[in-house]
Amino acid sequence: MILDLHAPRQPLIWPGLALFLALFETETAWELLKLDLPEHLQQQGWQSIRQTLHAGGALQVIQAHSR
């Protein structure tokens, strides 16, 4: 199970997320927002991948099983 940031679906959430990233994260966090994590996990061999979005899409929970 993974809990991670995700590019928000709600435009009103972007300013708060941008402030959070500027204060507490590095440039790497911005790059990870562009990554399709479920797709990346699938390419790495993970199976039964299930993604749910929360907080207007700004948070993602991903569940997956290894082979």
pLDDT in tens, 17-64: 999 999 999 899 999 999 999 999 999 999 999 999 999 999 999 999
Q: What is the pLDDT of residue 67?
A: 74
Q: What is the pLDDT of residue 40?
A: 95
Q: What are phi and psi of 12, to 5 degrees?
A: -70, -15
Q: How far apart are CA 12 and CA 4, in angstroms?
A: 19
User: Is the pTM value of this prediction over 0.85?
Assistant: no
Q: What is the pLDDT of residue 46?
A: 96
Q: How far apart are CA 41 and CA 17, in angstroms?
A: 24
For the chain, how many helices (H) and strands (E)? Answer: 3, 3
Q: Are 48 and 66 in contact (CB under 8 A)?
A: no
